Amino acid sequence: MRRTVLFALLALCAAAPMAIPGAEAQQANRATGNASRPARLGDFQSWTAVSHTEGGQKVCYAFTRARSMDGVPGRSADNVMLLVTHRPGGRDQVAVRAAYSFPRGAEAKLFIGQGEFPFFTNADTSFARDGRAVVTALRGGREAVHRGPGPNGRGQATDTFALAGFTQAYEAISRECPPPTPARR
């Protein structure tokens, strides 16, 4: 269910590339009766932090758009994004929206400094297998490079994201959507 909502949110981002992703989530929530008004938490160099409500629960995410893209012509940097999301049921969910459909069952990788992180794909998005490890690397990196197979398995796509401001954007979403407090006995 959560991935389905993320897929819907990411798909809506393509419809209005200059808008913040939360604005599209607001439109989708209105259509389903879950009114939500996205709130921009701040802009932090290359990153933007946003919160909105999904199904009555607050969701926070930070995103940046690709600084450069290679291997798949016709894509717009407005549609290629790296996102980190906090939900009540899951923190440090990392995704890359590639703005083209990956071949079924494809694997992608994100490179940050000397680190290499595996991602699985679905439609036009790849998801980190270990979001917590990716977030740790993002906090200490200068840039992230996402590599995956091109459409129909032809060639390779490479997208580069600036990490300047990631730590501040991450701290903003973490303040707005703190981890759940364990129940006291």
- Give 99-152 as a 3 state SS string: CCCCCCCCEEEEEECCEEEEEEEECCEEEECCHHHHHHHHHHCCEEEEEEECHH
CA nearest neighbour of 62 among 146, 142, 148, 172: 172
**pLDDT above 60: residue 103:** yes
pTM assigned to the model: 0.80
User: For 14-89, where are the alpha helices, taking DSSP H only?
Assistant: 21-32
Question: CATH 3.40.1180.10: does it fit domain 2-176?
Answer: no
Q: What is the pLDDT of residues 123-144, one digit of tens each?
A: 999 999 999 999 999 999 999 9
CA nearest neighbour of 176 among 59, 91, 84: 59
Contact assessment for residue 47 and residue 166, using Cβ atoms and an 8 Å cutoff: yes
**pLDDT above 70: residue 99:** yes
Q: What is the DSSP letter of 72?
A: S
pLDDT tier, 89 (very low <50, low <70, confident <90, very high otherwise): confident
Average pLDDT, the chain: 84
**pLDDT above 60: residue 21:** no
